């Protein structure tokens, strides 16, 4: 299992350190960064970090592909960055110009990614409610329905508030002033007046300066008007703050800013954003109605490529806008769904055909993940590496995309992940065939990708088999297991007692700890040195029998950067059990304030039935049996 803390530490170190990070956030599978200086990134080092699936620049945004554990890794990243809500400099502070398209994509991604979980959760509730009502398992007049519907509709109805906060963070301005503007757009005066006018009634107009009419526009569930308003707020707030005296700026800068921004929003930006949104939704809908199969074919065959660049989040405002204007999305949501399933079909075909056990295991797990809507493990772990399965998935996605577009399949709510758990958002009491056509498209996409992959084939990973000579050279194992000796002299301690959660919780594997009495470290098994970092505080050994061991000297001693450590071996060197590996200055390490406890970890513990300590306590000496790995 990958160590999230180590992943975060490696990523931050190899993107130029925390001082090079202007902004950081994450989506479902990726860490995303805005960096002050892109030239400081060591791309190869990040890609070679255990637990990282890939890394790339997408425009001026740097992305590190993690997979399902991205949330846990981001928590570690955020702790090390000390918070990511404010940038240290503007994106153009280094004098480099961003392209307009790149900047726009970065803004869209940064605004909408943080609010997707709320939209996904409430959207799925709305889908489940539709299913329950359709099956007559719940009445749409009952109390439970009303409560659940309020939950499901709350985020979407009050979407300008959520977008205001996210946009303010992205534009680096006051979140609370942003909320104030959103509050004006959704104030009962505006909402009630719009409802009255749209129902054919009359309402007294609001006139500014006696000449400027404030149009009554429906801003519930809207996204473009509030983004434009927050964008204006950013510049006005900075401008006012420049000339406002420091003694009164706390009170009067917000006041003057709102007096300027709100009227401009109500008269110009709000209506403009609303009209743009309506036109955009109508235009896209027209395209899919009149050229549906062709549009679906093109988008279905290219959507995984868009996902690879990380720019699929640019479609989020289009999807939201479609829900606001049309009440459904018949464009991106269904296409995203069937292309995810196509990736699963290809990767399951790899699992069926591959003769390599590890490849099969990875293919099955990543295939299940793809069916649930997370395709990066399947794409980066299997399909892209083998190329032909990826091409098969593109072809299947294009064909199935044309099919669902031809039948006008619609998503009626935001689902977050486009996988099997999102099926409820395609249920409609007035359009019962909608779900059926989607299911047909899903099955078509999976089967086509599966068959195409089997037909075109792929280069399988080599299956390593031991020769007769290798088998005869395997050391004798004691009582059906692997004997692991003590590498240092000292007091035995249970691993769960060490003052490091990573080791104590067994995240790295099973093992034991020794509180050392001197600084001499010897090999606990015979094998090859596979790990010896520049900091020299740890040594990894792969035994001749396949046992993988990590000897880690001290807690947080990596911070010593190799001081007080003298290795006696090199990477790839073969050592015999009992051979000297390392010497460390125990007194100096203690004097520097570090815990010198030595951890001995079987990092491939999963390959053993169990790893048992031979003694629970007491003094142990080098070359005495410490652990027994039972196969």
| pLDDT digits 0-9 by tens, 570-583 | 989 999 988 999 99
Instruction: Indicate the DSSP class of residue 457.
Output: -
Q: In 3D, which of 625, 397, 384, 596 has the Cα closest to residue 499? A: 596
Phi, psi angles (nearest 5°) of residue 80: -75, -25
pLDDT digits (tens, 9 = 90+) for 435-478: 999 999 999 999 999 999 999 988 776 555 444 434 334 443 33
- Write out the two tokens for 291: 């050229």
DSSP letters for 370-398: HHTT--HHHIIIIIHHHSHHHHHHHHHHH
* Under 8 Å between Cβ of 537 and 554: yes
For 32, the 3-state DSSP assignment is: strand
pLDDT digits (tens, 9 = 90+) for 228-241: 999 999 999 999 98
* Under 8 Å between Cβ of 450 and 349: yes
pLDDT digits (tens, 9 = 90+) for 54-93: 787 766 678 888 876 777 888 888 888 865 443 333 333 3
Between the alpha carbon of residue 366 and those of residues 68, 246, 276, 324, 569, the distances in Å are: 10, 56, 40, 34, 38
The vertex-282 CA angle with 276 and 283, nearest 5°, equals 85
Kindly report the CATH class assigned to 471-630: mainly beta
Instruction: Indicate the DSSP class of residue 411.
Output: B
Query: One fold for both 4-85 and 471-630?
Result: no
| pLDDT at residue 469, as a whole number | 39
* Under 8 Å between Cβ of 380 and 53: yes
Q: Give the separation between CA 12 and CA 118, rounded to whole angstroms.
A: 28
* Under 8 Å between Cβ of 582 and 566: yes
Q: In 3D, which of 502, 514, 563, 512 has the Cα closest to residue 536? A: 563
* Under 8 Å between Cβ of 59 and 109: no
Long-range contacts from 95-98, C-beta under 8 angstroms, 24+ separation = 98/59, 98/60
* Under 8 Å between Cβ of 522 and 539: no
Q: Give the separation between CA 300 and CA 254, rounded to whole angstroms.
A: 47
* Under 8 Å between Cβ of 321 and 425: no
- pLDDT > 80? residue 625: yes
- Write out the two tokens for 534: 């520049």
- pLDDT > 60? residue 97: no
Query: Average pLDDT in the 214-223 region?
Result: 85
pLDDT digits (tens, 9 = 90+) for 131-167: 787 777 888 788 888 898 898 888 888 989 998 998 9
Query: pLDDT grade, residue 2 (50/70/90)?
Result: low
Residue 494 half-sphere exposure toward CB, CA atoms < 13 A:
4
pLDDT digits (tens, 9 = 90+) for 522-547: 999 999 999 888 888 999 999 988 89
Catalytic positions, written as ranges: 27
* Under 8 Å between Cβ of 341 and 332: no
- pLDDT > 90? residue 488: yes
pLDDT digits (tens, 9 = 90+) for 363-384: 888 788 788 777 767 776 788 7
Chain-centre distance of CA 488, in angstroms? 41
| pLDDT at residue 416, as a whole number | 61
| pLDDT at residue 392, as a whole number | 92
Q: Give the separation between CA 181 and CA 553, rounded to whole angstroms.
A: 56
Instruction: Indicate the DSSP class of residue 205.
Output: P
Query: Average pLDDT in the 411-419 region?
Result: 75
Q: In what order do the strands lie in the sheet with 481-485?
A: 481-485, 625-630, 610-613
- Write out the two tokens for 540: 């990894």
* Length in residues, the chain: 631
Q: Domain extents for the chain?
A: 4-85, 158-286, 291-456, 471-630
Percent above pLDDT 90 for the chain: 26
| pLDDT at residue 447, as a whole number | 95
- Write out the two tokens for 246: 């420091």
SS3 content of the chain, % helix, strand, coil (to 5): 55, 15, 30
- Write out the two tokens for 551: 């000897």
Between the alpha carbon of residue 196 and those of residues 182, 188, 203, 215, 221, the distances in Å are: 21, 12, 7, 13, 18
Q: What is the pLDDT of the chain when averaged over all its residues?
A: 82
Q: Give the separation between CA 210 and CA 263, rounded to whole angstroms.
A: 13
* Under 8 Å between Cβ of 191 and 198: no
Q: Which CATH number does 4-85 carry?
A: 3.30.1360.60
Q: In 3D, which of 561, 580, 576, 483 has the Cα closest to residue 526? A: 576
């Amino acid at each position: 299992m990958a160590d999230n803390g180590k992943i975060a530490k490696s990523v931050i170190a190899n993107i130029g350190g925390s001082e090079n990070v202007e902004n950081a956030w994450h989506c479902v599978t990726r860490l995303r960064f805005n960096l002050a200086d892109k030239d400081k990134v060591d791309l190869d080092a990040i890609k070679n970090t255990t637990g990282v699936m890939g890394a790339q620049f997408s425009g001026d945004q740097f992305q590190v592909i993690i997979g399902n554990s991205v949330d846990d890794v981001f928590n570690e990243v955020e702790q090390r960055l000390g918070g990511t809500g404010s940038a240290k400099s503007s994106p153009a502070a280094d004098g480099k110009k961003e392209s307009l398209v790149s900047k726009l994509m970065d803004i869209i991604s940064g605004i909408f990614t943080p609010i997707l979980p709320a939209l996904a959760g409430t959207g799925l509730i709305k889908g489940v409610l539709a299913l329950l009502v359709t099956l007559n398992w719940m009445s749409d007049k009952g109390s439970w329905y009303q409560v659940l519907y309020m939950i499901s509709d709350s985020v979407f109805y009050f979407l300008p508030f959520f977008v205001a906060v996210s946009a303010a963070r992205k534009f680096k301005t006051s979140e609370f002033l942003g909320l104030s503007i959103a509050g004006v757009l959704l104030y009962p005066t505006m909402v009630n007046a719009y409802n009255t006018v749209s129902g054919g009634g009359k309402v007294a107009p609001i006139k500014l300066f006696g000449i400027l009419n404030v149009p009554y526009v429906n801003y519930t569930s809207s996204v473009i008007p509030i983004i434009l308003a927050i964008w204006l707020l950013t510049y006005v707030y900075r401008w006012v703050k420049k000339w406002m005296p420091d003694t009164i700026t706390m009170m009067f800068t917000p006041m003057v800013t709102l007096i300027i921004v709100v009227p401009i929003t109500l008269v110009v930006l709000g209506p403009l954003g609303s009209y743009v949104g309506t036109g955009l939704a109508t235009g896209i809908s027209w395209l899919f109605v009149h050229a549906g199969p062709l549009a679906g074919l093109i988008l279905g065959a290219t959507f995984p490529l868009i996902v690879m660049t990380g720019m699929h989040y640019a479609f989020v405002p289009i999807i939201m806008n479609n829900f606001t204007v049309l009440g459904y999305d018949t464009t991106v949501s269904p296409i995203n769904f069937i292309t995810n399933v196509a990736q699963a079909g290809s990767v399951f075909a790899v699992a069926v055909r591959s003769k390599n056990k590890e490849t099969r295991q990875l293919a099955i797990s990543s295939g299940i993940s793809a069916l649930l809507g997370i395709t990066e493990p399947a794409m980066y772990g299997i399909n892209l590496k083998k190329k032909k399965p990826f091409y098969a998935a593109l072809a299947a996605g294009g064909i199935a995309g044309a099919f669902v577009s031809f039948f006008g399949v619609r998503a009626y709510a935001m689902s977050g992940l486009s996988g099997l758990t999102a099926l409820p958002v395609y249920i409609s009491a007035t359009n019962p065939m909608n779900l059926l056509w989607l299911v047909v498209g899903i099955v078509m996409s999976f089967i086509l990708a599966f068959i195409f992959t089997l037909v075109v084939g792929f280069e399988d990973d080599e299956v390593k088999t031991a020769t007769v000579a290798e088998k005869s050279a395997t050391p004798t194992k004691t009582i059906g297991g692997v004997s692991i000796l003590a590498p240092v002299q000292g007091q035995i301690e249970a691993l769960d007692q060490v003052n490091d959660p990573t080791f104590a919780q067994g995240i790295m594997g099973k093992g034991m700890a020794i509180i050392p009495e001197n600084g001499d470290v010897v090999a606990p098994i015979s094998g090859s040195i596979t790990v010896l970092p520049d900091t020299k505080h740890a040594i990894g050994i792969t035994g001749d029998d396949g046992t993988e061991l990590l000897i880690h000297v001290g807690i947080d001693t990596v911070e010593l950067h190799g001081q007080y450590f003298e290795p006696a071996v090199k990477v790839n060197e073969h050592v015999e059990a009992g051979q000297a590996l390392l010497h460390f200055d125990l007194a100096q390490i203690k004097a520097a304030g570090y815990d010198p406890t030595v951890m001995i970890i079987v990092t491939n513990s999963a390959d053993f039935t169990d790893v048992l300590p031979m003694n629970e306590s007491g003094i142990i000496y080098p070359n005495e049996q410490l652990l027994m790995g039972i196969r």
